Amino acid sequence: MAAEGQQHPLKIYYIMWIALFVLSGFSYWTDFWDDGPFRTGAILTFMMLKAGGIVLIFMHMGWERTALKVAILGPPVAIMVLIWLMSYEGLYIEDTRTEYYGESTFEPEPVHH
């Protein structure tokens, strides 16, 4: 006898496909914006929403137990927080060096082969 598994309605997959299509359209729309932090933030937001939807629906994470969700999603979130902290520290160090030492006048010598 075959074990019966849980069946999810196809409607949820169709809705997710449409949502991914719309989010991809918004993501491509940002190509026409001027470069800057708002554009970068929008691109990252659309990327995270699409990735989250794929993981939630197509990888069936939405139907898993909370402990498994935390075990799988916790480490990438921790890594993202640490990367953000490192970038924040890098900006602080750069600003501090510029404040105390002024702008850099270092010019690398050309490499001759």
- Which residues are CB-contacts of 79 (< 8 A; sequence separation ≥ 6)? none
Q: Report which residue type is found at 60.
A: H
- 107 is a domain residue: no
pLDDT digits (tens, 9 = 90+) for 55-96: 888 888 888 888 888 888 888 889 999 999 999 898 888 888
Residues 39 and 85 in one domain: no
Q: First-to-last CA distance in the chain?
A: 73
Whole-model pTM: value is 0.61
Domain count, the chain: 2
Distances (CA, A) of 24 to 20, 32, 54, 87, 104: 6, 14, 13, 27, 41
Q: Which two tokens stand for residue 49?
A: 């929403």
Residue 1 included in any domain: no
Considering the domain architecture, whether residues 40 and 69 belong to the same structural domain is answered as no
What are 4-48's pLDDT values in tens digits?
666 778 899 999 999 999 999 999 999 999 988 899 999 999 998
Q: Is residue 108 one of the residues assigned to a domain?
A: no
Question: Looking at the structure, do residues 40 and 78 belong to the same domain, yes or no?
Answer: no
Task: Give the domain extent around 77.
Answer: 65-101
Residue 36 shares a structural domain with residue 76: no
Q: Are residues 72 and 94 in the same domain?
A: yes
Tell whether 42 and 69 lie within a shared domain.
Answer: no
